[in-house]
Amino acid sequence: MRPSSLSITSCCMAAILLTTGMLAGADEPKPITFDDHIAPILKKHCVQCHGESKQQSGLNFATYATLIKGGSGGEVVAAGRSGASRLVEVISADDPAERMPPKSDPVPPDQIALIRTWIDTGLRENAGSSVAAKRTLGFKPMASSLTADGPPPVPENLASVEKRKTHRPFPLLALAASPRAAVVAVSSYEAIDLFDPATRSHLGSIAFAEGEPHVLKFSPSGRVLLAAGGMPVQNGVAVLFDVTTGKRLASVGDEPDAVIAADISPDEKQVAIGGSARVVKIFSTENGKLLHTLARHTDWITSLAFSPDGKLIATGDRIGNIHLWDAQSGGIVLPLLEHKGAVRALSWRSDSGVVASCGEDGAIVWWDVKDGWPAINKSNAHPPARPAGYFGKIANGVLDAVFGPNGELATCGRDGTIRLWSTDGNELNSFSIRSGLSADASTSAAATPKGVKLLPTRVAITADGNFILAGDSAGQLHVWPRNSVPSVEATK
């Protein structure tokens, strides 16, 4: 919700200068309520502009009912969704021209956090008010694919691939871990490299003559590797490879631009692709026939993923829109509205009950797909450090997200860190690629180039959940044991 007519003046915003000292004792803190904490401040600082006698932008903050009602631009608070509340958006904006109160110091971060808490805990009117039940995301791990019938598919005697040299380090654009074997696929220019994450040994390479692999995905069986990409403004395609032999099985799509989002269905019968054409195409892997064209997005498709049960497909675009579709009929199911920047990744939890998204707005969202509710929203998941003397907005994007076998979520961001989150959204561990590479913590396909500022590009978790992996902007692969001690930089 971003109504242009909404203007919250400084006399109103000064009322939000709350302190945590207003809460009760630490042993049993009182809930944050409108009557006890919000109304006195609004009455003192806001009602002259947003009260009974005067309502700029149609906003009246004199009572709980009128505050909840909103103004001419719509609601300013949404229960349980501080990230989608206009009030929070305007007081936390990085751009001084957009931030409220205007021509005044910004609201301190701890006070913004308190406002978020009031919203996220249900917008209580008073201590006796009921509050919306807290949404939980109960998770029951699915049967491990590691115990599936037959030996896990691993590369054997792959044909040699002559790697083309590039003038500059080629960034690691795609990364995937096999769900059944100790195999990790890593993108390279016109090639895909396969590694053992535990021993860090090179298992072989597969040629990708089409150009740059922008997407790598293993099928649930681990026997098929999807590689999608191409050359920007020249060609785009998705290719299926046999993991064991490296043999090319099929290819779909003949796009005029590189494919930048793709996935293979759990039954290996469908491949979905997307890119600058703003539509998602779903093909049959059996005959290459185009089955569905999903045409609801209005900008580039930046990410897509089939649910593990094969019933749904989630798609995201460059302006923050996410849609859920019926994977069999191609019909729209739900819009997921929360992001305010490009959606960089979509990942499904193994039980198909939750899909996680991350984006350039700095947010990570865990979506309950039963009704499209953003059950957990980390609005500032990878906060970057502000350089001394630097003013203005700092890039705060989350660049990739992937679920592990036990419901944990790994993410990487522009702050240079990789973070591991629990099923309830709490941070479990963090790692930094800026702390350098060490033999016992990580490895790389090449030495760290001098003068190159490293940025994590992709992240993965091994099938057994024991290793966290990340690629970077210099084409290097990093590997950390899940429970390794966080680096100093990662914990800042």
Tell me, yes or no, whether 477 and 357 share the same domain.
Answer: yes
Q: What pLDDT does 467 receive?
A: 95
Please report the DSSP string for 222-287 in residue order: SSEEEEEEEETTTEEEEEEEETTT--EEEEEEEESS---EEEE-TTSSEEEEESTTS-EEEEETTT
Is position 355 within any domain? yes
Answer with the one of 87, 120, 153 that is the final residue of a domain: 120
How far apart CA 287 and CA 251 sit, in angstroms, is: 10
Tell me, yes or no, whether 115 and 214 share the same domain.
Answer: no
Tell me, yes or no, whether 163 and 114 share the same domain.
Answer: no
Is position 96 within any domain? yes
How far apart CA 239 and CA 248 sit, in angstroms, is: 7
Tell me, yes or no, whether 176 and 109 share the same domain.
Answer: no
Answer with the one of 120, 136, 171 that is the final residue of a domain: 120
Residue pair 470/412 in contact by the 8 Å Cβ criterion: yes
Is position 417 within any domain? yes
Tell me, yes or no, whether 318 and 246 share the same domain.
Answer: yes
Is position 135 within any domain? no
Tell me, yes or no, whether 67 and 153 share the same domain.
Answer: no
- Best CA proximity match to 399, nearest among 444, 454, 342, 448: 342
Task: Give the number of other Cβ atoms within 10 Å of residue 173's Cβ.
Answer: 21
How far apart CA 336 and CA 317 sit, in angstroms, is: 12
The answer to whether the predicted template modeling score (pTM) of the entire model surpasses 0.85 is: no
Tell me, yes or no, whether 360 and 428 share the same domain.
Answer: yes
How far apart CA 59 and CA 462 sit, in angstroms, is: 51
Tell me, yes or no, whether 178 and 87 share the same domain.
Answer: no
At 217, which amino acid appears? K
Tell me, yes or no, whether 345 and 409 share the same domain.
Answer: yes
Task: Give the number of other Cβ atoms within 10 Å of residue 72's Cβ.
Answer: 13
Partners of 201 in beta bridges: 196
CATH number of the structural domain spanning residue 319: 2.130.10.10
For strand 270-274 and strand 184-188, is the pairing parallel, antiparallel, or unpaired? unpaired
Residue pair 343/358 in contact by the 8 Å Cβ criterion: yes
Task: Give the number of other Cβ atoms within 10 Å of residue 373's Cβ.
Answer: 17
DSSP state at residue 37: I
Cis ω before 383 (30° cut-off from 0):
no
- Best CA proximity match to 106, nearest among 21, 6, 16: 16
3-state secondary structure of 417: strand
Tell me, yes or no, whether 94 and 216 share the same domain.
Answer: no
Tell me, yes or no, whether 180 and 309 share the same domain.
Answer: yes
Q: What pLDDT does 463 receive?
A: 94
Is position 344 within any domain? yes
Is position 279 within any domain? yes
How far apart CA 133 and CA 115 sit, in angstroms, is: 19
Tell me, yes or no, whether 280 and 397 share the same domain.
Answer: yes
3-state secondary structure of 153: coil
Is position 281 within any domain? yes
pLDDT in tens, the chain (492 residues): 333 333 333 333 333 333 333 333 445 567 888 777 777 676 755 666 767 888 877 877 788 788 778 877 778 777 777 777 777 888 888 788 787 777 777 878 888 888 887 777 788 888 777 655 455 566 665 555 555 567 889 999 898 888 888 888 899 999 999 999 999 999 999 999 999 999 889 999 999 999 999 999 999 999 999 999 999 999 999 999 999 999 999 999 999 999 999 999 999 999 999 999 999 999 999 999 999 999 999 999 999 999 999 999 999 999 999 999 999 999 999 999 999 999 999 999 999 999 999 999 999 999 999 999 898 989 889 988 777 777 776 778 999 999 999 999 999 999 999 999 999 899 999 998 864 443 333 344 344 555 557 899 999 999 999 999 999 999 999 999 988 755 433 322
**Total domains in the fold of the chain:** 2
Domain range spanning residue 205? 145-491
Token readout for 381 is 């998941």
Answer with the one of 74, 105, 120 that is the final residue of a domain: 120
At 33, which amino acid appears? T
**Burial class, 159, CB count within 10 angstroms (exposed 0-12 / middle 13-18 / buried 19+):** exposed
Is position 138 within any domain? no
At 152, which amino acid appears? P
DSSP state at residue 83: G
Q: What pLDDT does 8 receive?
A: 37
